[in-house]
Structure 1
Amino acid sequence: MPSHVQDRLAAIITEIDHTGQADVLRLTVLKKWFEYHPKRLRAFGLWVAERAAARGEGAEGEAAELFATARTLLTERPLSEPRPGWTAAETLHRRLAAFQNTVQYIRGTPVRIIRNRNLLLVEEGLALYLGQRTRPTDGYRLAADDCEHYDSRYGTNLNGPARERVAALLGFVATVEAQEGQET
């Protein structure tokens, strides 16, 4: 039986199908879901990092090297290692943060310059996995960053390619809840 969160995510997909877009704030339902079971946040961070690392094809230079390292650590592990090594994950996280550590001041406010969005998602996902960010709001923000898409007709919201990302998120939630059901 689908959970309340699964129903809400399915409703977002239906809204995108009918209207072409949905408000990214509808993903706030994930905050309570992360709160309910604290291990979900770490698993979600790892899941997003894996997916973002897989989307890094076509990068060049240092970004390509970082994607290759991330893919090796996150997606090319032997089955005997269900989670990436802690030290390797910390090292990669530090390298990713250093790669995109340029700050520009705009009207007196520091703004971090992001050169590659998918590398940022890997970095943020690893921060959740490593426990550097532990609030349910951090998980929601990562989900919003991963799913949202810019379209000139709707702005930055859940539209276009966001539908597939929300569907993948629904699959992740269903899988985690099924695993938790088997453990109890």
Structure 2
Amino acid sequence: MATAPSNNSFGLHLCDRALTPVMSSSRRSSSTDSNSASRRQSQALTAFTAASITAYDTASRLGLGLPQRVMVETWASGPIALTSYLQSSGHARPVAEHAPDSLQHINGAFDGSRETGDLLANGTGVAEVNDVGEGENKQQSSPLLIASVIASSSVEIGEARRAAAKLERTGRDFQREWARKQDQESITREEG
């Protein structure tokens, strides 16, 4: 894992869905130093990323499409959290299904009919999300990466957004390199 450039006011974290860090502003601490500030920061960044993955999955399950970014800003110039979801270049960004022609009453009765699909309480249809695009080999698709920037104050929003953009570029470079190596391994297996 690479260490992100040191910036005392930001927490930076880039990892995959399995929460394996690619880059982080927290340093790995020794097993004997389990209560260190770095270990606590690493645990906090991992927990935040796990919550971000849950938000990503929830939006996908509800048919809202695949999120690109989430920003959480607290009241009175408190901390800010920016999360970017870096899908592989082969993933299309599906659009949420429109409200169906039929409406559901509060008592559960329907006006009209809907032959397939589930309805949410707001009348929006639940769309299925394909993890692999048509004609795309799942093995060669680069992994989803989650880039997180945590700033201590909303005063730093401009700097935090710039840091998030840099972290996104780093993540995209990682995905391109990962896909390139997968392609090379595939060619080597086919030749062998």
Given the two structures, how large is their TM-score scaled by the length of structure 2?
A: 0.28
Larger Rg: 2
- Name the one with the larger strand percent: 2
Does 1 or 2 have the higher relative contact order (CA < 8 Å, sep 6+)? 1
Given the two structures, how large is their TM-score scaled by the length of structure 1?
A: 0.29
